[in-house]
Amino acid sequence: MLEQPQVPTPGARLSREEVESLLFHPDAEITASLARAARQIRDRIYGRGVFIRGLIEFTSFCKNNCLYCGLRRSNALAERYRLSPEEILECCEDGYRVGMRTFVLQGGEDAYFTRKRMTDLLQEIKARYPDCAITLSIGERSSEEYQAFFDAGAERYLLRHETATNAHYRFLHPPEMHLSNRMRCLKELRRIGYQVGCGMMVGSPGQMPEMLARDVEFLRAFMPEMVGLGPFIPHRQTPFAQEKAGSVETTLRLLSLVRLMLPSVLLPATTALSTLDGEGRIRGLDAGANVVMLNLSPQSVRKKYSLYDGKADCPDDARTIWREFSATLEQNGYRAVVSRGDPAGKEEIE
């Protein structure tokens, strides 16, 4: 008989075995106890205000070939698009008008967006919206490029590490991709001064419980400002088409555990979670998340940015999305905040 694990106190240092047991113990009550403890610390640090990010998926071209992702270069059926600077700026304008103060520029690894094209774009966004933060999520680049993007106004960077286990990284990626390079990028981003986000999928093919525990250990050591976590969801045009999706329950437990380990982390309730569970965003917040990304991409391209199957098709404009989501938040005891949403601690210093 497995002994029921204890819910950790905030900031506690857990062994891998303890993490594994908290994530996978069959007692469903653990999910609720973890969530309760995580909410409590989240409420103490951030209150019930939820930071809203405007997500702009600006290119679906990618030179990489990650086995799990629908945008991988070998997927000849993927529909590719790039937004023009004007289109991207229109997305920002739509988001700004409704109250968004962070724009997340996300895309595949697309060489068309050279250093010059990116820095011109960043400078223009920053000039128009000096009170907003820009987050980049465009994968592995050289240190010089990371520095140039930072100098041009990007302050945050999301780069999931995907898995902290070498062999598992190799299983999920083609031979030319290396965990060591991913880690080098994360360290460079940190050194330059970005707020850095890393993270992983829950239930990705080949993931063993101890690997997820190792990911948690890595997060604890790296102490990122942001953590992106969502369930793996198969995409029909990838080698992992027949694999099964990650567990919502484990994702929720992991969100709570990350909140408890890194109390002031910025933690989104991700789109992947809401794809598997209609209530996923609220369940994520109730598990300790405090950030939500709402899609600002033009309607015409939203379906084409297809990392996994079944991504909620959202036909609404920014105003409707914000209004409806604000109402959902309020029904659940939260509120959308109009703010850049920096990590707690930093705002106090400013």
Annotated binding-site residues read 62, 66, 69, 137, 162, 182
Does residue 136 bind ligand SF4 (CB under 6 A)? no
Q: Which stretch binds ligand SF4 (CB under 6 A): 27-35, 60-68, 269-277, 308-316?
A: 60-68
Binding residue (CB under 6 A) for ligand SF4 from 33, 40, 64, 326:
64
Among 8, 197, 205, 230, binds ligand 5AD (CB under 6 A): 230
Q: How far is the CB of 67 from ligand 5AD (least distance, A)?
A: 9
Q: Which of residues 306-335 bind ligand 5AD (CB under 6 A)?
A: 307-308
Name which of residues 137 to 166 contact ligand 5AD (CB under 6 A).
160, 162
Q: Does 309 bind ligand SF4 (CB under 6 A)?
A: no
Least CB distance to ligand SF4 at residue 337 (A):
29
Please say which residue, 8 or 139, places its beta carbon nearer to ligand SF4.
139
- The span of 54-62, 124-132, 212-220, 232-240 binding ligand 5AD (CB under 6 A) equals 232-240
Binding-site size, ligand 5AD (CB under 6 A): 12
Residue whose beta carbon is closest to ligand 5AD:
308
- Nearer of residues 21 and 204 to ligand 5AD, judged by Cβ: 204
- Going residue by residue from 247 to 286, which x/- string records binding to ligand 5AD, judged by CB under 6 A? -------------------------x--------------
Write a three-state SS string for the chain.
CCCCCCCCCCCCCCCHHHHHHHHHCCCCHHHHHHHHHHHHHHHHHHCCEEEEEEEEEEECCCCCCCCCCCCCCCCCCCCCCECCHHHHHHHHHHHHHHCCCEEEEEECCCCCCCHHHHHHHHHHHHHHCCCCEEEEECCCCCHHHHHHHHHCCEEEEECCCECCCHHHHHHHCCCCCCHHHHHHHHHHHHHHCCEEEEEEEECCCCCCHHHHHHHHHHHHHHCCCEEEEEECCCCCCCCCCCCCCCCHHHHHHHHHHHHHHCCCCECECCHHHHHHCCCHHHHHHHCCCCEEEEECCCHHHHCCCCCCCCCCCCCCCHHHHHHHHHHHHHHCCCEEECCCCCCCCHHHHC
- Interacting residue ranges for ligand SF4, rule: CB under 6 A: 62, 64, 66, 69, 71-72, 108-109, 139
